[in-house]
Structure 1
Protein backbone atom coordinates (compact mmCIF):
# COMPACT_ATOMS: atom_id res chain seq x y z
CA UNK A 1 0.00 0.00 0.00
CA UNK A 2 1.24 3.49 -0.71
CA UNK A 3 1.71 5.88 2.23
CA UNK A 4 -1.42 7.90 2.92
CA UNK A 5 -1.80 11.51 4.01
CA UNK A 6 -4.41 12.95 6.34
CA UNK A 7 -6.20 14.43 3.31
CA UNK A 8 -6.20 11.04 1.53
CA UNK A 9 -7.68 9.34 4.56
CA UNK A 10 -10.36 11.92 5.38
CA UNK A 11 -11.52 12.08 1.75
CA UNK A 12 -11.85 8.31 1.41
CA UNK A 13 -14.75 7.47 3.73
CA UNK A 14 -17.75 5.93 2.02
CA UNK A 15 -20.05 5.29 4.97
CA UNK A 16 -19.97 8.53 6.94
CA UNK A 17 -20.55 12.19 6.19
CA UNK A 18 -17.75 14.58 5.26
CA UNK A 19 -18.19 16.26 8.64
CA UNK A 20 -17.85 12.95 10.48
CA UNK A 21 -14.75 12.12 8.43
CA UNK A 22 -13.20 15.49 9.33
CA UNK A 23 -13.79 14.89 13.06
CA UNK A 24 -12.59 11.30 13.39
CA UNK A 25 -9.21 10.81 15.06
CA UNK A 26 -6.36 9.68 12.82
CA UNK A 27 -3.41 7.53 13.85
CA UNK A 28 -0.47 9.63 15.01
CA UNK A 29 2.12 7.23 13.64
CA UNK A 30 1.37 7.47 9.90
CA UNK A 31 5.03 8.13 9.06
CA UNK A 32 6.16 5.01 10.95
CA UNK A 33 3.64 2.57 9.49
CA UNK A 34 5.13 -0.38 7.53
CA UNK A 35 3.37 0.70 4.31
CA UNK A 36 5.09 -1.90 2.11
CA UNK A 37 3.60 -4.67 4.29
CA UNK A 38 0.07 -3.24 4.52
CA UNK A 39 -2.91 -4.03 2.35
CA UNK A 40 -5.07 -1.63 4.32
CA UNK A 41 -4.59 1.01 6.98
CA UNK A 42 -6.52 0.05 10.10
CA UNK A 43 -6.67 1.78 13.46
CA UNK A 44 -8.76 1.92 16.60
CA UNK A 45 -10.30 5.05 18.02
CA UNK A 46 -8.63 5.43 21.43
CA UNK A 47 -11.31 7.89 22.57
CA UNK A 48 -14.17 5.50 21.69
CA UNK A 49 -13.28 1.87 22.48
CA UNK A 50 -16.03 0.48 20.22
CA UNK A 51 -14.86 2.20 17.02
CA UNK A 52 -12.20 1.51 14.44
CA UNK A 53 -11.45 2.49 10.86
CA UNK A 54 -10.10 0.86 7.71
CA UNK A 55 -8.81 2.57 4.55
CA UNK A 56 -7.76 0.61 1.47
CA UNK A 57 -7.66 0.80 -2.29
CA UNK A 58 -10.88 -0.60 -3.76
CA UNK A 59 -11.94 -0.53 -7.41
CA UNK A 60 -9.20 1.92 -8.33
CA UNK A 61 -9.74 4.44 -5.54
CA UNK A 62 -9.36 4.78 -1.79
CA UNK A 63 -12.25 3.54 0.32
CA UNK A 64 -12.47 4.28 4.02
CA UNK A 65 -14.94 2.57 6.33
CA UNK A 66 -15.98 3.45 9.86
CA UNK A 67 -16.54 0.29 11.92
CA UNK A 68 -18.15 -0.49 15.27
CA UNK A 69 -17.67 -3.53 17.43
CA UNK A 70 -18.85 -4.68 20.86
CA UNK A 71 -16.60 -3.68 23.74
CA UNK A 72 -17.33 -6.94 25.57
CA UNK A 73 -14.64 -9.60 25.50
CA UNK A 74 -15.13 -13.32 25.19
CA UNK A 75 -13.57 -15.88 27.47
CA UNK A 76 -9.89 -16.60 26.89
CA UNK A 77 -10.56 -20.25 26.03
CA UNK A 78 -12.94 -19.40 23.21
CA UNK A 79 -11.22 -18.80 19.85
CA UNK A 80 -12.61 -16.93 16.84
CA UNK A 81 -11.33 -16.71 13.27
CA UNK A 82 -10.76 -13.52 11.33
CA UNK A 83 -12.66 -13.56 8.02
CA UNK A 84 -9.90 -11.59 6.29
CA UNK A 85 -6.61 -13.27 7.23
CA UNK A 86 -7.98 -16.54 8.68
CA UNK A 87 -6.01 -16.09 11.90
CA UNK A 88 -7.63 -17.56 15.02
CA UNK A 89 -7.38 -15.59 18.24
CA UNK A 90 -8.59 -16.18 21.80
CA UNK A 91 -10.80 -13.85 23.79
CA UNK A 92 -11.34 -10.46 22.18
CA UNK A 93 -8.64 -10.94 19.53
CA UNK A 94 -11.31 -11.20 16.81
CA UNK A 95 -14.43 -9.03 16.86
CA UNK A 96 -17.57 -8.73 14.80
CA UNK A 97 -17.05 -5.37 13.10
CA UNK A 98 -20.11 -3.72 11.63
CA UNK A 99 -20.16 -0.94 9.07
CA UNK A 100 -23.10 1.24 8.22
CA UNK A 101 -23.97 0.90 4.55
CA UNK A 102 -23.47 3.92 2.32
CA UNK A 103 -26.27 6.02 0.85
CA UNK A 104 -29.97 5.60 1.52
CA UNK A 105 -29.58 2.11 3.00
CA UNK A 106 -27.13 3.41 5.60
CA UNK A 107 -29.41 6.29 6.51
CA UNK A 108 -32.14 3.70 7.09
CA UNK A 109 -29.88 1.92 9.59
CA UNK A 110 -28.69 -1.00 7.46
CA UNK A 111 -25.22 -2.37 8.13
CA UNK A 112 -22.88 -5.21 7.15
CA UNK A 113 -20.66 -7.17 9.51
CA UNK A 114 -17.44 -9.14 9.28
CA UNK A 115 -15.23 -10.88 11.82
CA UNK A 116 -11.83 -9.15 11.87
CA UNK A 117 -8.73 -9.11 14.04
CA UNK A 118 -9.50 -6.49 16.67
CA UNK A 119 -6.02 -4.97 16.32
CA UNK A 120 -6.49 -4.74 12.49
CA UNK A 121 -3.01 -6.18 11.86
CA UNK A 122 -4.19 -8.84 9.38
CA UNK A 123 -1.61 -7.84 6.76
CA UNK A 124 1.21 -8.33 9.25
CA UNK A 125 -0.09 -11.73 10.41
CA UNK A 126 -0.35 -13.07 6.85
CA UNK A 127 3.18 -11.92 6.02
CA UNK A 128 4.63 -13.26 9.28
CA UNK A 129 5.71 -9.75 10.40
CA UNK A 130 3.64 -10.09 13.57
CA UNK A 131 2.95 -13.31 15.41
CA UNK A 132 -0.47 -14.06 16.90
CA UNK A 133 -0.88 -16.23 19.95
CA UNK A 134 0.36 -19.84 19.55
CA UNK A 135 -1.93 -21.80 17.23
CA UNK A 136 -3.27 -18.62 15.63
CA UNK A 137 -2.02 -19.31 12.10
CA UNK A 138 -2.62 -22.60 10.34
CA UNK A 139 -0.03 -24.26 8.17
CA UNK A 140 -1.22 -23.65 4.61
CA UNK A 141 -0.20 -24.94 1.21
CA UNK A 142 -0.81 -21.47 -0.28
CA UNK A 143 2.16 -19.16 -0.72
CA UNK A 144 2.26 -15.90 1.23
CA UNK A 145 1.40 -14.04 -1.99
CA UNK A 146 -1.67 -16.26 -2.50
CA UNK A 147 -2.72 -15.70 1.12
CA UNK A 148 -2.34 -11.94 0.65
CA UNK A 149 -4.50 -12.08 -2.49
CA UNK A 150 -7.14 -14.10 -0.61
CA UNK A 151 -7.16 -11.53 2.20
CA UNK A 152 -7.49 -8.66 -0.29
CA UNK A 153 -10.35 -10.50 -1.98
CA UNK A 154 -12.09 -11.06 1.36
CA UNK A 155 -11.81 -7.35 2.16
CA UNK A 156 -13.01 -6.38 -1.33
CA UNK A 157 -16.03 -8.66 -0.89
CA UNK A 158 -16.89 -6.92 2.37
CA UNK A 159 -16.51 -3.45 0.83
CA UNK A 160 -18.69 -4.44 -2.14
CA UNK A 161 -21.56 -5.06 0.26
CA UNK A 162 -21.42 -1.48 1.51
Structure 2
Protein backbone atom coordinates (compact mmCIF):
# COMPACT_ATOMS: atom_id res chain seq x y z
CA UNK A 1 0.00 0.00 0.00
CA UNK A 2 2.82 2.43 0.89
CA UNK A 3 4.59 1.69 -2.42
CA UNK A 4 1.35 2.24 -4.37
CA UNK A 5 0.77 5.56 -2.57
CA UNK A 6 4.31 6.70 -3.36
CA UNK A 7 3.92 5.82 -7.05
CA UNK A 8 0.56 7.62 -7.21
CA UNK A 9 2.00 10.70 -5.52
CA UNK A 10 4.98 10.79 -7.93
CA UNK A 11 2.66 10.37 -10.91
CA UNK A 12 0.40 13.21 -9.76
CA UNK A 13 3.42 15.44 -9.12
CA UNK A 14 4.76 14.85 -12.62
CA UNK A 15 1.33 15.35 -14.17
CA UNK A 16 0.92 18.59 -12.22
CA UNK A 17 4.22 19.86 -13.63
CA UNK A 18 2.96 19.20 -17.17
CA UNK A 19 -0.22 21.19 -16.43
CA UNK A 20 1.65 24.12 -14.87
CA UNK A 21 1.45 27.46 -16.63
CA UNK A 22 4.48 28.22 -18.79
CA UNK A 23 6.73 31.02 -17.56
CA UNK A 24 5.87 34.50 -18.71
CA UNK A 25 8.34 35.79 -21.30
CA UNK A 26 10.17 37.92 -18.70
CA UNK A 27 10.48 34.94 -16.33
CA UNK A 28 12.40 32.61 -18.68
CA UNK A 29 15.76 31.65 -17.18
CA UNK A 30 18.74 31.83 -19.56
CA UNK A 31 22.14 30.25 -18.89
CA UNK A 32 24.72 31.62 -21.33
CA UNK A 33 21.92 32.13 -23.85
CA UNK A 34 20.49 28.62 -23.40
CA UNK A 35 17.12 27.75 -21.85
CA UNK A 36 17.72 24.45 -20.09
CA UNK A 37 14.13 23.49 -19.27
CA UNK A 38 11.15 23.10 -21.56
CA UNK A 39 8.90 26.13 -21.41
CA UNK A 40 5.82 23.92 -21.12
CA UNK A 41 6.88 20.50 -19.88
CA UNK A 42 5.09 19.10 -22.94
CA UNK A 43 7.09 17.61 -25.83
CA UNK A 44 7.14 19.69 -28.97
CA UNK A 45 5.08 18.71 -32.01
CA UNK A 46 7.50 18.27 -34.93
CA UNK A 47 4.75 18.64 -37.56
CA UNK A 48 3.50 21.91 -36.06
CA UNK A 49 7.09 23.12 -35.73
CA UNK A 50 7.56 22.47 -39.45
CA UNK A 51 4.43 24.53 -40.19
CA UNK A 52 5.62 27.39 -37.98
CA UNK A 53 8.94 27.44 -39.86
CA UNK A 54 6.96 28.47 -42.95
CA UNK A 55 3.90 30.35 -41.79
CA UNK A 56 2.47 32.72 -39.27
CA UNK A 57 4.55 34.34 -36.59
CA UNK A 58 7.41 31.88 -37.05
CA UNK A 59 8.20 32.20 -40.75
CA UNK A 60 11.81 31.16 -40.11
CA UNK A 61 12.47 30.42 -43.77
CA UNK A 62 12.05 34.09 -44.58
CA UNK A 63 15.61 34.45 -43.25
CA UNK A 64 16.99 30.87 -43.17
CA UNK A 65 17.44 28.19 -45.80
CA UNK A 66 16.38 24.69 -44.74
CA UNK A 67 16.88 21.79 -47.17
CA UNK A 68 14.26 19.70 -45.32
CA UNK A 69 11.74 22.36 -46.37
CA UNK A 70 12.83 22.49 -50.02
CA UNK A 71 9.22 21.95 -51.07
CA UNK A 72 8.46 25.45 -49.77
CA UNK A 73 9.36 28.59 -51.75
CA UNK A 74 11.30 31.71 -50.82
CA UNK A 75 14.05 30.66 -48.42
CA UNK A 76 16.05 33.58 -47.09
CA UNK A 77 19.78 34.10 -46.88
CA UNK A 78 19.97 36.65 -44.06
CA UNK A 79 20.42 34.05 -41.32
CA UNK A 80 22.60 30.94 -41.39
CA UNK A 81 21.46 27.78 -43.15
CA UNK A 82 19.74 25.55 -40.61
CA UNK A 83 20.79 22.18 -42.07
CA UNK A 84 22.60 20.29 -39.29
CA UNK A 85 21.57 22.80 -36.61
CA UNK A 86 20.88 19.95 -34.15
CA UNK A 87 24.51 18.86 -34.49
CA UNK A 88 25.86 22.37 -33.87
CA UNK A 89 23.70 23.32 -30.88
CA UNK A 90 22.14 21.48 -27.95
CA UNK A 91 18.37 21.45 -27.47
CA UNK A 92 18.73 23.98 -24.65
CA UNK A 93 20.81 26.29 -26.86
CA UNK A 94 18.31 26.03 -29.73
CA UNK A 95 15.47 26.77 -27.29
CA UNK A 96 17.37 29.84 -26.07
CA UNK A 97 18.06 31.07 -29.60
CA UNK A 98 14.42 30.71 -30.67
CA UNK A 99 13.17 32.23 -27.42
CA UNK A 100 15.45 35.28 -27.59
CA UNK A 101 18.51 35.05 -29.86
CA UNK A 102 19.92 38.29 -28.47
CA UNK A 103 20.70 36.55 -25.17
CA UNK A 104 23.30 34.44 -27.00
CA UNK A 105 24.09 36.75 -29.93
CA UNK A 106 23.57 40.38 -28.84
CA UNK A 107 24.06 41.73 -32.38
CA UNK A 108 21.60 39.27 -33.95
CA UNK A 109 18.89 40.57 -36.28
CA UNK A 110 16.72 37.56 -35.39
CA UNK A 111 13.46 38.50 -33.68
CA UNK A 112 12.90 37.50 -30.09
CA UNK A 113 10.02 35.07 -30.46
CA UNK A 114 9.13 34.86 -26.74
CA UNK A 115 9.47 38.43 -25.53
CA UNK A 116 6.82 40.96 -24.54
CA UNK A 117 8.69 44.05 -23.25
CA UNK A 118 11.89 45.99 -23.84
CA UNK A 119 11.34 46.82 -27.49
CA UNK A 120 12.73 49.91 -29.19
CA UNK A 121 9.60 51.72 -30.30
CA UNK A 122 10.45 54.38 -32.92
CA UNK A 123 6.75 55.05 -33.45
CA UNK A 124 6.62 56.73 -30.06
CA UNK A 125 9.06 59.42 -31.18
CA UNK A 126 7.63 59.96 -34.65
CA UNK A 127 3.93 59.12 -34.68
CA UNK A 128 2.98 58.48 -31.09
CA UNK A 129 1.09 55.43 -32.36
CA UNK A 130 3.37 52.58 -31.31
CA UNK A 131 1.60 49.72 -29.56
CA UNK A 132 1.73 49.76 -25.78
CA UNK A 133 3.79 47.15 -23.95
CA UNK A 134 3.51 44.43 -22.92
CA UNK A 135 3.00 43.02 -26.39
CA UNK A 136 2.06 39.39 -26.95
CA UNK A 137 5.05 37.20 -27.84
CA UNK A 138 5.39 36.23 -31.50
CA UNK A 139 5.16 32.53 -30.55
CA UNK A 140 3.52 30.88 -27.57
CA UNK A 141 5.61 28.77 -25.20
CA UNK A 142 4.28 25.59 -26.83
CA UNK A 143 5.00 26.91 -30.31
CA UNK A 144 8.61 27.55 -29.19
CA UNK A 145 8.77 23.89 -28.10
CA UNK A 146 7.28 22.80 -31.44
CA UNK A 147 9.89 24.75 -33.45
CA UNK A 148 12.67 23.37 -31.22
CA UNK A 149 11.35 19.83 -31.79
CA UNK A 150 11.46 20.37 -35.56
CA UNK A 151 14.93 21.93 -35.45
CA UNK A 152 16.19 18.96 -33.41
CA UNK A 153 15.40 16.76 -36.44
CA UNK A 154 17.84 18.74 -38.61
CA UNK A 155 21.02 16.69 -38.28
CA UNK A 156 23.90 16.23 -40.70
CA UNK A 157 23.30 13.23 -42.92
Question: Could you tell me the TM-score, scaled by structure 1's length?
Answer: 0.27
Question: Could you tell me the TM-score, scaled by structure 2's length?
Answer: 0.28
Greater strand share, structure number: 1
Query: Considering only CA atoms, is the larger Rg found in Structure 1 or Structure 2?
Result: 2
